[in-house]
Chains A and B, each alone.
Chain A
């Protein structure tokens, strides 16, 4: 199969206005991925499936990632020459910025016909609260249907164009999205004979205040 960079270049040539970025994976597996813009994602998916050199005809896996917003501290070092002629000073400047959170959907594509793969696609939502709509790729790969329902159920990504977008694991009246990082689970397993760690912190609300130590 072509490298991810080659595929990106072909996609950009074919879809001039599209957003296609390569997200590199520094781990030994080196599975680099393509981050697609939501607007042209379905056309690109169609192209990847039908292109004779790629023919990615199987979507084996759809999963979600929750990226909560986080504060990034960046340290910039600048060298200030000493006007008195001494050695140059290094001044560190720290800047904080808030990186907005988003929800990400990851697709793993393989080609059964040409026996290659995987190609990893990523789609990102605008934020984690109200702009959570992404185009569904179920019209392109039918195998996405249940897995996109699962991503909808557990992460709360709404897939536009999905034929049957319902919860699949939790019941219909359920309101939370359990795989999000800020999900607060029901407080129903606090008790253990010897709680420790996070379970103890959670269980403390249920325990009576310790009796004051009796003086001999």
Chain B
């Protein structure tokens, strides 16, 4: 691709658009159908990183079996650029929380998340990682990993099929491709005003201390039916 295609969209906008207006995605797609590739740094950058999301080689319970199946030949997560399961959090982009997070395991999961470099994403796979699932009323299960780390994609299921994991990955790619590189919606690694590390809870006498990270999770407002209140 020549350098001419890379400058900001406004310079290369078609004549129908005033020079000050950036090209809209619809116009860009229209041009692409005509065989003219017009792109931006932002689109190119996001396209590249959305297709090389490397997950952390990390499984917690039965959902991990489905995750392994998704990486094998039949479902082949390599089609989406995520076949490189990294054994080190320093090299991984994606944390797939695949399974039940016990309270004893939760600090280790959060420490792994903190050890991953930005840009990083988190998929909560399965009912247990989302909410505690069938163990929600147990004494030793964390009621959702989103209480401690920011989760990008929730994949329901118990466990989700490999197709569901692939769908979640495609959704994550769409989310990455839609991220602007500037402004308040920019990803965390391009901003200086957000804290990327999550505090690691301590083992308390009766529960984890604290029981949640209030910057990423707040108890939802109760919805009570009038006759049940």
In the complex, are the beta carbons of B224 and A176 less than 8 A apart?
no
Q: How far is the CB of A96 from chain B (nearest CB, A)?
A: 33
Tell me, in angstroms, the Cα distance from A210 to B225 when the chains sit together: 10
Q: Which residues of B contact A195 (CB under 8 A)?
A: 224, 228
In the complex, are the beta carbons of A189 and B136 less than 8 A apart?
yes
Q: Which residues of A contact B229 (CB under 8 A)?
A: 207, 210
In the complex, are the beta carbons of A173 and B211 less than 8 A apart?
no
Q: How far is the CB of B86 from chain A (nearest CB, A)?
A: 28
Q: How far is the CB of A8 from chain B (nearest CB, A)?
A: 38
User: A173-B205, A196-B228, A207-B229 given as contacts; is B222 within 8 A of A189 (CB)?
Assistant: no
Does B206 reach chain A (CB closer than 8 Å)?
yes
Task: Please name the residue on chain B nearest to A206 by beta carbon.
Answer: B222
User: A183-B139, A188-B143 given as contacts; is B222 within 8 A of A175 (CB)?
Assistant: no
A-B contacts at CB below 8 angstroms, number = 56
Task: Please name the residue on chain A nearest to B143 by beta carbon.
Answer: A189
Does A112 reach chain B (CB closer than 8 Å)?
no
Q: Is the interface of A mostly helix, strand, loop or mixed?
A: loop
Sorting the interface of chain B by its residue count into under 10, 10 to 19, 20 to 34 or 35 or more gives: 20 to 34
In the complex, are the beta carbons of B206 and A186 less than 8 A apart?
yes
Q: Which residues of B contact A178 (CB under 8 A)?
A: 139-140
Q: Which residues of B contact A172 (CB under 8 A)?
A: 203
In the complex, are the beta carbons of B225 and A186 less than 8 A apart?
no
Q: Which residues of A contact B223 (CB under 8 A)?
A: 193-194
Q: How far is the CB of B35 from chain A (nearest CB, A)?
A: 51
A side interface size, CB within 8 A: 26
In the complex, are the beta carbons of B205 and A207 less than 8 A apart?
no
| Residues 157-216 of A at the B interface (beta carbon under 8 Å) | 169-176, 178, 183, 185-186, 188-189, 191, 193-196, 199-200, 203, 206-208, 210
Q: Which interface residue of A175, A191, A208 has the most chain B CB atoms within 10 A?
A: A191
Selected from A169, A185, A196, A207, the residue in CB contact (under 8 A) with B222 is A207
In the complex, are the beta carbons of A174 and B203 less than 8 A apart?
yes
Selected from B205, B207, B224, B225, the residue in CB contact (under 8 A) with A188 is B207
In the complex, are the beta carbons of B140 and A194 less than 8 A apart?
no
In the complex, are the beta carbons of A173 and B203 less than 8 A apart?
yes
**Chain A proximity mask over B103-141: 1 for CB below 8 Å, otherwise 0:** 110000000000000000000000000001000110110
Q: B-contacting residues of A (Cβ < 8 Å)?
A: 169-176, 178, 183, 185-186, 188-189, 191, 193-196, 199-200, 203, 206-208, 210
List 21 contacting pairs A-B, 8 Å CB cutoff, sorted by A. A169-B104, A171-B203, A173-B205, A174-B205, A176-B205, A178-B139, A183-B139, A186-B207, A186-B211, A188-B207, A188-B211, A191-B219, A193-B223, A194-B225, A196-B228, A199-B137, A200-B228, A203-B222, A206-B222, A207-B222, A207-B224
What are the nearest 4 A-B pairs in CB distance? A210-B229, A186-B207, A171-B203, A178-B139
